[in-house]
Structure 1
Amino acid sequence: WFYIFYGDPDFGIYRTRSRDPEGDWERPHLVVEAKGWIDPCPFWDDDGRAYLVHALAGSRAGSKSIILLHKMTPDGDHLLDDGVLVFDGHDQHPTIEGTKMHKRNGYYYILAPAGGVANGWQTMLRSKNIYGPYEAKIILHQGETEVNGPHQGAWVELENGEDWFIHFQEKQPYGRVVHLQPARWVNNWLQIGQDSNQDGIGEPVASWTIPSLDQRFKDWQPQTTDEFNEPVIGLQWQWQANPQALWALPGALGYLRLNPALRPDTINRWSAPYLLLQKMPAESFTVRTKVNFHHHFDGERTGLIVMGIDYAHLSLIQENDQLQLQMTTCTKAQTGHPEQIQSQIPARSGVVELQVTVSSGGICRFGYRYDSGSWQEIGPPFQAKEGKWIGAKIGIFCDRLAPENDGGYADYDWFRVSLN
């Protein structure tokens, strides 16, 4: 079997499994009902006994910075005990979590990040006894590099014996950026990256020889641009929350139709579920889209949005039977701050191209043009901000203030992303 165990901090730890990782997976099964149990990892010992190691989320469990180990049925169906405390990180490894358990050369290992998402480090624990006591060693940190918080990852061993470590970096508006580090074993400790200052702790490398694989893989990147010529939208798109079928109508007509969703009864769009978004693809890039806005009633709006705890959008809105083009921002959206119009001009037409250019650090500049003319910048630069546990996202939306019979709609011809 191939297994996935995951923690839902509000309900407990679930297991799904499959005979083929590319095939069908079983419906998630609740292994244990619990609050705040996170980052589980199953482990099968040489004698066939099964265990589950995990951490705690303080927001739900009321406790954190500790690691618990449980006996488990070999099929991963349920736990056999209430758990044993095998490591307390409060003093030197606070917020320890993200557990991964291994056995090598007679040692039990638990790899776990500590120190917090933004500025933490990767900790490795080892013991000859599965219940400890465990020695603790920091095996990867930022050091003198520009990669903050290099942790929350996993050791990967290739068939040819090469060792690698995959982890993420919290990069504010860009979200959690994935890194691959070279690794090797020295004195039964995993050494990651390079120890450039000889302090015994690895540091991330900026570049390295790629892994030696038996087969070569084509260079690729996730989808970004969507011409909206297919009966389904691309896999890069993510709704802000659970979608409704009529929010977006793809088709073979060469455009994506957005129907105006009813705005939430809130002062901003932080809780608007109908935002159609995708992740930032690079540090510097440009997004352009073309919209034909068929506006019927006052309060209908559509546009291009950069979404996070601070957000901004360039949008068309009908007000007093007049179509306006507005560049709008909202800061601290999650606390209920209102949107602020930064620039507003009469729209010449409901057919317009919208643009946002993102430069290093997440600085966004909005622009527009009509009839393939020259681009005109509108509004001040905007600093993109991450969301809650996610990076900023970019996309399109269409909404209205009140329900109407046969409201307007926005036809998006294409959404194009280019790297700068």
Structure 2
Amino acid sequence: MKNIKIIVFLFCIIPFQKNTAQVWTSDNGDGTYTNPILHADYSDPDVVRVDDDYYMTASSFNCIPGLPILHSKDLVNWKIIGHALVKQPPFETYDRVQHGNGVWAPSITYHKNEFYIYYPDPDFGIYMIKAKKAEGPWSEPLLVKAGKGLIDPSPLWDTDGKAYLTHAFAGSRAQIKSLLVVCTMNPEGTVVNNDEVMVIDGHKDEETIEGPKFYKRNGYYYIFAPAGGVPTGWQTILRSKNIFGPYEKKKVLEQGSTAINGPHQGAWVTTQTGEDWFFHFQDKDAYGRILHLQPMKWVNDWPVMGEDYDKNGIGEPVTTFKKPNVGKKYPIEAPAESDEFNEPRLGLQWQWQANRQINWGFPTSLGYLNLFCNTTSQNIFNAPNLLLQKFPAEEFT
């Protein structure tokens, strides 16, 4: 009992602090930022701008709620505003822990005043959800293309009203990999047709090419695609005047002399002032895939990312750089971290390891979270009722 009394006494003398740990700040407060902009596992990020607002989503795998939605005003400071996936189908599968499965690299797009997210489940196919507001509510997931190993979808609505989708393949399920295809969709984006055209076979020079993002600019169709593998790869750009190719290719971002390994897979964003920027991740082992922001410009209709330090024509990641010009200055923000559980709802930083069950616990209006014991799992690794959040920094309290 003495130990318990000591613990209670120590807890009581800790002064109350606002619910922010201030453990990682990319914004230097002097008009510059230092990468990473988020030192947390926002794997395979995609970003879209709508007017003066920026929205991001990322892979969530088996964590629920899934498909986090983050918001920013300046591309550097971000906060979580919701999740697009409240419960992950098929329910009989994701009511159990499925480490590494579930939501792989998603894409977020804004089309005809609606947000669209296409996300792959490598074991079931490609799903689509949409919403009028990024905060939600989001529609129920619609399986728009069934199949094993279909991953990394990205849509494109062309100026003539036709719709297309590009995607890659997971060799572990599809038995093929290092390939990208383009296929057609119905104009509503609810049906993806089985008329795939292969636009690149990466086995020779672009091994493990995947994660495509589809864009159109100055009459060119572009596919931004990472290659070379997650820890050691680079960013490849494909371009063509014809949506089905043939495509030219160019390597535009690599690790080079920097310490930023595998800089690839992300999103191109143009600010309201006309600047171009590119988001990508860096694989950092147990810390996950942390988020970086690179300056970008166009030269001869090819994107140039980062800084070409060795003058070989390929950009390298920057560490500290001038913040994007978005027309205004905004305060420093960070995703939610610490929590006193004072609200009668669960904070957006928390996720379960599987679809939530009603007997796992409840928030209360009394300043605490009530959790129940569950002994159905043989070990903690496979316990679905673990309430967790991402590591927010290398060191944190």
TM range (shorter): 0.5 to 0.7
Alpha carbons of structure 1 residues 168 and 160: separation in structure 2 relative to 1, 3 Å = same
Which residue of 2 is the match for residue 119 of structure 1? 232
Which residues in structure 2 correspond to 1:59-74 (within 5 Å)? 59-74=172-187
Hey, what's the Cα distance between the residues in 1 that align with 2:371 and 2:130? Answer: 37
Q: Structure 1 residue 7: deviation in Å? A: 1.6
In the alignment, does 2:113 pair up with 1:32? no
Q: Please, which of 282, 289, 295 is the counterpart of residue 393 of structure 2?
A: 282
Structure 1: unaligned runs, 5 residues or longer: 287-420
Which residues in structure 2 correspond to 1:84-103 (within 5 Å)? 84-103=197-216
Q: Is the 8 A contact 1:226 1:233 kept in 2?
A: no
AA aligned to 2:297 is: R
Q: Structure 1 residue 22: deviation in Å? A: 4.1
Query: Bigger CA drift: 245-254 or 56-65?
Result: 245-254
Which residues in structure 2 correspond to 1:107-186 (within 5 Å)? 107-186=220-299
Which residue of 1 is the match for residue 219 of structure 2? 106
Alpha carbons of structure 1 residues 136 and 276: separation in structure 2 relative to 1, 3 Å = same
Hey, what's the Cα distance between the residues in 2 that align with 1:251 and 1:50? Answer: 46
Q: How many residues align?
A: 284
Hey, what's the Cα distance between the residues in 2 that align with 1:4 and 1:179? Answer: 21
Identity %: 56
Alpha carbons of structure 1 residues 229 and 26: separation in structure 2 relative to 1, 3 Å = closer
Which residues in structure 2 correspond to 1:34-49 (within 5 Å)? 34-49=147-162
AA aligned to 2:206 is: H
User: Which string of whole-angstrom CA distances, capped at 9 and with x for unpartnered residues, describes residues 53-86 of structure 1?
Assistant: 1111111111010011112211112134421111
User: Which string of whole-angstrom CA distances, capped at 9 and with x for unpartnered residues, describes residues 145-173 of structure 1?
Assistant: 11111111111111211000011111111
SS in 1 for 2:311: coil
Hey, what's the Cα distance between the residues in 1 that align with 2:139 and 2:356? Answer: 24
Which residues in structure 2 correspond to 1:330-345 (within 5 Å)? none
Q: Structure 1 residue 19: deviation in Å? A: 3.7
Q: Please, which of 216, 220, 235 is the counterpart of residue 348 of structure 2?
A: 235
Q: Structure 1 residue 23: deviation in Å? A: 4.5
Hey, what's the Cα distance between the residues in 2 that align with 1:74 and 1:255? Answer: 48
Q: Structure 1 residue 234: deviation in Å? A: 1.9
The structure richer in helix per residue is 2
Q: Structure 1 residue 259: deviation in Å? A: 2.5
AA aligned to 1:71 is: T
Hey, what's the Cα distance between the residues in 2 that align with 1:164 and 1:229? Answer: 38
Q: Is the 8 A contact 2:145 2:193 kept in 1?
A: no
SS in 1 for 2:206: coil
Hey, what's the Cα distance between the residues in 2 that align with 1:227 and 1:80? Answer: 49
Q: Structure 1 residue 190: deviation in Å? A: 0.3
Hey, what's the Cα distance between the residues in 2 that align with 1:45 and 1:257? Answer: 50
Alpha carbons of structure 1 residues 20 and 264: separation in structure 2 relative to 1, 3 Å = closer
SS in 1 for 2:181: strand
Hey, what's the Cα distance between the residues in 2 that align with 1:108 and 1:189? Answer: 11
Q: Structure 1 residue 14: deviation in Å? A: 1.7
AA aligned to 2:387 is: L
Alpha carbons of structure 1 residues 217 and 15: separation in structure 2 relative to 1, 3 Å = same
AA aligned to 1:278 is: Q
In the alignment, does 2:122 pair up with 1:9? yes
User: Which string of whole-angstrom CA distances, capped at 9 and with x for unpartnered residues, describes residues 85-144 of structure 1?
Assistant: 111101111111111111222221110011111111111011222222211111111111
Which residue of 2 is the match for residue 208 of structure 1? 321
Hey, what's the Cα distance between the residues in 2 that align with 1:20 and 1:237? Answer: 22
Alpha carbons of structure 1 residues 49 and 252: separation in structure 2 relative to 1, 3 Å = closer
Which residues in structure 2 correspond to 1:212-223 (within 5 Å)? 212-223=325-336
Q: Is the 8 A contact 1:155 1:165 kept in 2?
A: yes
Alpha carbons of structure 1 residues 164 and 13: separation in structure 2 relative to 1, 3 Å = same
Alpha carbons of structure 1 residues 235 and 24: separation in structure 2 relative to 1, 3 Å = closer
SS in 1 for 2:382: coil
Which residue of 2 is the match for residue 357 of structure 1? none
Q: Structure 1 residue 263: deviation in Å? A: 4.8
Q: Structure 1 residue 32: deviation in Å? A: 1.6
Hey, what's the Cα distance between the residues in 1 that align with 2:369 and 2:189? Answer: 44
Q: Structure 1 residue 219: deviation in Å? A: 1.0
CA RMSD of aligned residues (A): 1.7
AA aligned to 2:384 is: P
Hey, what's the Cα distance between the residues in 2 that align with 1:18 and 1:256? Answer: 30
Hey, what's the Cα distance between the residues in 2 that align with 1:23 and 1:231? Answer: 19
SS in 1 for 2:198: strand
Which residue of 2 is the match for residue 51 of structure 1? 164
SS in 2 for 1:261: coil
AA aligned to 1:128 is: K
In the alignment, does 2:131 pair up with 1:18? yes
Hey, what's the Cα distance between the residues in 2 that align with 1:256 and 1:48? Answer: 49
Hey, what's the Cα distance between the residues in 1 that align with 2:390 and 2:131? Answer: 29
Alpha carbons of structure 1 residues 75 and 91: separation in structure 2 relative to 1, 3 Å = same
Which residues in structure 2 correspond to 1:227-266 (within 5 Å)? 227-265=340-378
Which residue of 1 is the match for residue 54 of structure 2? none
Which residue of 2 is the match for residue 374 of structure 1? none
User: Which string of whole-angstrom CA distances, capped at 9 and with x for unpartnered residues, describes residues 365-387 of structure 1?
Assistant: xxxxxxxxxxxxxxxxxxxxxxx
Q: Is the 8 A contact 2:233 2:263 kept in 1?
A: yes
TM-score (normalised: structure 2): 0.68
* Greater RCO, CA 8 A, separation 6+: 2
Q: Structure 1 residue 233: deviation in Å? A: 3.1
TM-score (normalised: structure 1): 0.64
SS in 2 for 1:260: coil
